[in-house]
Structure 1
Amino acid sequence: MGKFTPLDTTSPVHGDAELAEKFLSTLGKRRVYALAIVSVAEGATRLATVGAEHDARFELGSVSKAINGHILASMIADGTVNAAQTLGSLLPLGECPASDVALEELATHTSGLPAHGGSRLGVWRKGLRAARGREADTETVEELFGQLRRASPQKQRYHYSNLGGAALGHALAAADGISYPDLVRARFASPLALPTALVRTPDQPLSERDVRGVTFSGREATPRTARGYAPAGGISASADDIALFLQALVAETAPGMDAPSEWLEVDDGLSLGAGWHISRGEGRSLTWHNGETGGFSSWIGIDRSADRALMISCAGHIDLDGTAAAMLLAT
């Protein structure tokens, strides 16, 4: 594998060069190696990719949790599940504390489940694998269920949990009698006619359409494949898919549009939707989520009062929160 070349403002752009340059000019010494950026505002959609084509797939990481929130809200709306339904009613967990956790608690990170399942040593090893660009969450679905059976939820107002995010996705899939990758296809990709969005499975090799992730050290990252933690961050999608999703969010035609509404107020500056964070300040409100895998960084946000949305996904590791939020809220 040859050395990856970081992008800069001189890199060739597919699509809206002004939009791409606006983001790339903020990088400074930070490095990204492929970029997809989509903006929907004032009835217009702007899209640019750099180092990839418009239909090339990027790993979205924990942006998947926002998508799961929409799936949950759509399933509540059609009566398949209800917000207070417990994990134990949907997953084979037996008699354990996690069985009593409600779906809405998983969606709002108020279940009290730890950030990750397993031992402290196991969590440390996950961090080491992630830093090296290897897939951190290697558990099978059954191993994830084992972590849930051994977990001791400590009820609290808000505690971000990948274990809870994974449990929610598998519970919703079980309610539909299908696997999580099939749930994403049936409840997200198909209704929005997204041709490339998927959850990669271990038997599914990368294709020419898939962007290669890049580690902190500039090496090719191991692609994320669907295992136990797939619902916590396993969705991949292209800029073309992202554009259709953002358009549906702004038009409020996406499945489960109750998801980005306020489900729980944490404090004066933060509320939670189903899979979404809602930040408030200086008279503005921003609904958002970020994501990271071994080789990718992503961010999605909606300014619902102004009918705007923005999503950025890139190969490489970069904190997108400040830059992306500023781009979305800029007048």
Structure 2
Amino acid sequence: MTISGGITAFIDNGNQQYNSPARVCLLALIAFKLSLSKTWLCISIKRIMIMLLKNSVGRKGVNNKSDVKLIQEALNRVIRIPYALLAVDGISGPVTIAAIERFQRQALKFNNTDGRVDVDGKTWLSLKRYLVDSPNKKTAMFSLFPISPSNDLKKQVAITRKKIAWGAKVSGAFKEKVIQICESLDLAPDYLMSCMAFETGETFSPSIKNAAGSGATGLIQFMPTTAKGLGTSTEKLAKMTAVEQLDYVKKYFTPYRNKLKKLEDVYMAILYPAAVGKPITHVLFSEGRKTYSQNKGFDANKDGKITLKEISVKVRQKYEKGLSKGYLG
């Protein structure tokens, strides 16, 4: 029995007596882990439980916020460029319901769609796979797994731990801390990880510096003035481990708690906070300004203007790459 499986059994059967040698050993192992770190147990429980869909989502569903966010995250892993990602806001509105129906109709080949994800239904059994694995089939609209019989699906998705974008490229401690931070900020881990991958050239290095010479450093390219406002400096940040620097990532994003529901907004909070919530046609930087020179690689059509759409495409590419095989973890 694995530790995670043992903890799940312990939680679900807390009122039973554990008298067998195996159960005694299990409790001893849990006690040992607790003696090393209470945080370990708390985080592990969260990661085990995070993939559980408790109630129905969608049209005429119960639509608890945590369930809706889980479905929105899963649906976003299906949708491909250039189609827009869902806002991970926990609201089961017309856009989310339409995305469920589209998945049912085009990915699952339902003749009659109901726009709802039920706990024991085929839509959830199929959608759940995207939270733990990377599909190998690509269409113009979706990344897909082959359609499987329901019995096979039940075997394939008997996994309780959700994987995150770029999780295979960082340490376990880093990944766990990102999940914890995102939970406290009401932020999708896939979004934050993809933005950090973009900012660091996929290195997740706490000491990497901006090649254009702005002085920006680290996981989200802290500017010197930004670092000072957070009570540190870019020099100190560069000497931290990646896990240590995440404390300052959290501190930076705290004022935006509950406000960053889209990938574009998460990245704008890093690059240009004034553009959070702006439409994709919004012009961020124009030629002739230093900010344009520092970011001119975004100007895809070379018209001397950098729009939110142009920046979004590059960050979205990192998002999709982070969900592919060898990166999702």
TM-score (norm 2): 0.27
Q: Which has the higher helix share?
A: 2
Tell which structure's C-alpha radius of gyration is larger: 2
> Which one scores higher on RCO, CA 8 angstroms, separation ≥ 6?
1
Q: Which has the higher strand share?
A: 1
TM-score (norm 1): 0.27
